[in-house]
Amino acid sequence: MRKKKSSRTVYAVALVLFLAGFGTLLMAGLKQNSIYFLNVSEALAMPPENIQQIRLFGTVAEEGLVYDPLHMGVQFLLEDSDDASQRIAVQYRGVVPDLFQPGAEVILEGGYLVQDRVFNAKTLMTKCPSKYEAENRSG
């Protein structure tokens, strides 16, 4: 009888330790991979040192767009979708999506380079324009 109780205790302790370790790893992984999703106004309201890894969304401004064929990228101003006076300078190195143009809504992932005063985008995605959305047809 005594041996049965001690083996249950060992299994219970092992289960608690396993669950604690698994929970710790899960929380560390979620914390490391979490990224804030902000619009331009929200990002500008934060201290630049705190904008190290975020997703940023907004609209490509009409002016300030410069393609860089040498480094395969683009520099542009991203404006807030609700307040066009709120803008942030962006640089991106990589393949520019076909739908990228002034007025396009984009989602960026990257961080703010404080010394250069520019948002360094690691990824650049364009939102599909409404002309590709299904039309509401009454038939």
Q: Give the pLDDT of residue 135.
A: 52
Higher pLDDT, 30 or 10: 10
Q: What is the pLDDT of residues 52-90, one digit of tens each?
A: 788 999 999 999 899 988 878 899 999 998 888 999 999
CB-based contact 107:128 (threshold 8 Å) = no
Q: Give the pLDDT of residue 19.
A: 83
Which are the contacts of 81, defined by CB distance < 8 A and separation ≥ 6?
39, 40, 57, 58, 59, 105
What is the 8-class DSSP label of residue 104? -
Least confident of 10-14, 31-35, 60-64, 127-131: 31-35
Q: pLDDT class for 5, splitting at 50, 70, 90? A: low
What is the 8-class DSSP label of residue 134? P
The domains of the chain are located at 1-34, 35-128
Q: What is the mean pLDDT of residues 28-40?
A: 68
pLDDT > 90 in the chain, percent:
32
Taking CA atoms, 19 is separated from 22, 23, 25, 31, in Å, by 5, 6, 10, 18
Higher pLDDT, 88 or 46: 88
Predicted TM-score (pTM) of the model is 0.67
**Alpha helical stretches, state H, 34-122:** 40-45
Q: Which fold has domain 35-128?
A: OB fold (Dihydrolipoamide Acetyltransferase, E2P) (2.40.50)
Q: Give the pLDDT of residue 138.
A: 47
**Alpha helical stretches, state H, 34-81:** 40-45
**Alpha helical stretches, state H, 34-101:** 40-45
